[in-house]
Structure 1
Amino acid sequence: MQQATVDLWELFLSAFISSTIAPGGSEAVLAYMASTGSYRIENLIVAATVGNTLGAMTTWGLGMLAARKYPVATLLSAEKQKALVTVKTRGLWTLFFSWLPVVGDALCFAGGWLRLPLFSAFLIIMFGKLCRYLVIAWLFI
């Protein structure tokens, strides 16, 4: 496998992990890779966007599963309870902001908890993440 392909998979994994279980630096990885000029920008943006979106949808799915078993007050941290209220009152388009640090994961979890429409949630989350990665790539090319 070519090194460029391996590097894109590493960016994908960094973006996925950054949007699920651990804080990560997919933005820094993308910025570095874009600044080297060694990669097609389109490939970098696609790898980062797809990885981060799938990670966010994993968090959305965890929210949906958690809602089946646990009441809000016993499971959710104050941050996630606040995100739940925000998504409930402001609607599906709040998921566009899933790219934001700290609150983004909570918004995705809340979207799943509230059982927002899967396909619509996916598209809105992906659009927000794509916009973020486009800006980062543009800043560092």
Structure 2
Amino acid sequence: MGDIAALAALALSAFTSATLLPGTSEAALVGLLALGETAAWLAILVATVANVAGSAVNWGIGRYLVRFRDHPRFPVSRERYARTEALYRRWGVASLLLSWTPIVGDPLTVVAGVMRTPLLLFLPIVVLAKGGRYVAVAALAEGLL
């Protein structure tokens, strides 16, 4: 697979991994690095940018969905919404440092949109969290950790 095609596949995997769709971006990153044809920094950059873009889509979905919170078909009960809002208000944007984690991270980026976290505050925190994860994965794959 050519460098561009491999990076595009990594970007697609990283993007879908950041949304509520299933994805395996860490495995894609490790696989790409194992081929030895792509610089680690470039693979990390592509994975981070695509994963953060997916998180920004989640944030946008949250911003859009909040308009319908009083609708009977809103996917979250009023009680659960109130609990989630209280937790997010308690921990604030610092909780976005967990956006890299499985299971919790993707919904957290939706919650950030629902709670109207400014995008310019959201993005640097998510870049730090998700970029840090890919640096750690790449370092492990390269035997540096």
How many residues were matched structurally?
139
Kindly state the Cα deviation for residue 72 of structure 1 after the two structures are TM-superposed.
9.0
Report the counterpart of residue 60 of structure 1 in structure 2. 59
For the residues of structure 2 that align with 1:72 and 1:107, how far apart are their CA atoms?
22
The structure having more radius of gyration, on CA atoms, is 2
For the residues of structure 1 that align with 2:32 and 2:15, how far apart are their CA atoms?
17
Q: Structure 1 pair 84/32, CA: closer, same or farther in 2 (3 Å)?
A: farther
Kindly state the Cα deviation for residue 37 of structure 1 after the two structures are TM-superposed.
1.7
Where do 5+ consecutive residues of structure 2 fail to align?
none
TM-score (norm 1): 0.89
Per-residue CA deviation, residues 61-117 of structure 1 (Å, 9 max, x unaligned), is: 101100012239942279x74554432210111111111111111110110000011
For the residues of structure 2 that align with 1:107 and 1:31, how far apart are their CA atoms?
25
Report the counterpart of residue 100 of structure 1 in structure 2. 101
Kindly state the Cα deviation for residue 119 of structure 1 after the two structures are TM-superposed.
0.7
Identity of aligned residues (%): 32
Higher relative helix content: 1
For the 8 Å contact 1:83–1:107, the answer to whether it is kept is: no
Where do 5+ consecutive residues of structure 1 fail to align?
none
For the 8 Å contact 1:20–1:105, the answer to whether it is kept is: yes
TM-score (norm 2): 0.87
For the residues of structure 1 that align with 2:107 and 2:84, how far apart are their CA atoms?
6
Per-residue CA deviation, residues 112-135 of structure 1 (Å, 9 max, x unaligned), is: 000011111011011100000000
